[in-house]
Amino acid sequence: MAEKLLEANDVSVDFRINNEYLKAISGINLTINRGKVLALVGESGSGKSTFATSIMGLHNPEYTKVSGSIKVAGKELVGLSEKEFDDYRGVSVGMIFQDPLSSLNPLMKIGDQIAEAITVHDKNNPEVKNRVRTLLNDVGIDEEKRVADQYPHQLSGGMRQRVMIAIALANEPDLIIADEPTTALDAIIQAQILELIKDIQKKKDAGVLLITHNLDVVSELADDVAVMYAGQIVEKGSVEQIFENPKHPYTRSLLKADPNNVRPGEELYSIPGTVPSLAEMDFNKDSFLQRVPWLDEKVVNADVPEQMEEVEPGHFVRGTAWKDFSFDDVNRNED
Ligand SMILES: Nc1ncnc2c1ncn2[C@@H]1O[C@H](COP(=O)(O)OP(=O)(O)OP(=O)(O)O)[C@@H](O)[C@H]1O
Ligand code: NI
């Protein structure tokens, strides 16, 4: 049996807004095995970061409720105190954020920040300096001595992201979460950083949760894909299943709207409508159907079975409306 590094079962997150709790994600079931990359995709506002943040224990408990079960390397995280989360964070799981500049301390030298990430958990380690250099080397920085003495603003965006990755790796976590790790970088640097994440993942045999809007990146890096819409997983499976045999109309729409697929001279398809706000969400329905203009109201408003349907081994789809869809339907006009 493959070792499960992440097991999320029936995970929900509610945010308190104006004294009322609103659900942002609901019923999330996802697993990542050792050595595997799971890509989480979906439009802006679908709940991807809300899920990632719950694994890191970074939601403010004063206005956030996380329920269900999230196990990392077998350890239950839901219900941990902040102190317990502090001991866990960075040790079993490391996170790479989109914007390194806002996550790094502007007043602290790079070497000291990496050392801090190590020493938080092993304060008297005499080898810290060496370890910092090794980490910088691991993320492809050759001039590790010079870089260790610099401040974040003295580095390029790509270098800063490498430093962030070094920090995420400081304690050799089994699980790495990368939330849009390359969005702020230009194309060449993006490719280098992704290559780096892939190398590290292979070398450490880590599990990776990769959140990205770039489906090319997904097809290159991911083993499995989960598609999120309006706070729920609407489809999941292997990367081949999702790309070659997409079932849910949302998955099909996302693939069709992929800018990597647009041919020269062709206009890029954009999905009509928008992702619902938290107040508008209905977790008993297949929310995406509201954005399919030609669908019958009865179909749109039908309640959806709680369990996803397994359409082929390991390939799961939410709801039933997809059964009536052909691939061309995504394209269909109202007439
Ligand atoms: N702390 C919060 N308080 C209230 N609402 C929140 C909070 N964080 C996120 N939300 C809401 O939850 C929903 C999901 O947001 P989330 O950031 O998880 O989406 P996302 O899929 O990561 O989007 P993006 O691709 O833009 O990063 C959105 O409607 C967002 O406004
Ligand atoms: Ni996000």
Three-state SS for 46?
coil
- Protein residue with its CA nearest to atom 28 in ligand 1: 45
Distance of alpha carbon 53 from alpha carbon 129, whole angstroms: 30
The closest of 28, 33, 38, 46 to 210, measured between CA atoms, is 38
* Location of structure tokens 């790479």: 96
Instruction: Dump pLDDT digits (tens) for 210-236.
Output: 999 999 999 999 999 999 999 999 999
The answer to whether the beta carbons of residues 91 and 31 sit under 8 Å apart is no
Nearest CA to ligand 1 atom 26: 44
Terminal alpha carbon distance of the chain? 52
| Partner residues linked to 25 by β-bridges | 13
Tens-digit pLDDT profile for residues 278-332: 999 999 999 999 998 888 888 889 999 989 999 999 999 999 888 877 656 666 6
Q: What is the pLDDT of residue 122?
A: 67
pLDDT for res 123: 66
Domain total in the chain: 1
Q: Which two tokens stand for residue 150?
A: 């610099």
DSSP code, position 142: S
**Could you tell me the residue range of the domain that residue 75 belongs to?**
4-331
For 10-66, write each residue's pLDDT tens digit.
999 999 999 999 999 999 999 999 999 999 999 999 999 999 999 999 999 999 999
CA distance 82 to 58: 9
Shortest CA distance to 226 belongs to which of 206, 248, 207? Answer: 248
Q: Say yes or no to pLDDT of 334 above 70.
A: no
CA-nearest residue for atom 24, ligand 1, is 44
Residue 151, token pair as written in the block: 């401040």
At residue 264, the pLDDT reads 86
Query: Minimum-distance ligand to the CA of 63?
Result: 1
If one residue of 14, 21, 48 were mutated to test the ligand 1 pocket, choosing by the most ligand atoms within 8 A of its CB, it would be 48
Q: Enumerate residues with CB within 5 Å of ligand 2 (an ion).
A: 48-49
What digits encode the pLDDT tens for the residues 153-192?
A: 999 999 999 999 999 998 889 999 999 998 878 888 888 8
The residue to mutate among 19, 46, 228, 275, having the most atoms of ligand 1 within 8 angstroms of its beta carbon, is 46
Name the average pLDDT for the chain: 91
Its ipTM equals 0.99
Strand ranges in 154-248 using DSSP code E only, listed in sequence order: 175-179, 207-211, 224-229, 232-238
186: domain CATH number is: 3.40.50.300
From CA 314, how far away is CA 249, in angstroms rounded?
A: 19
Integer-rounded Cα Rg, in Å, for the chain is 21
In angstroms, rounded to a whole number, what is the distance separating the alpha carbons of residues 154 and 248?
Answer: 46
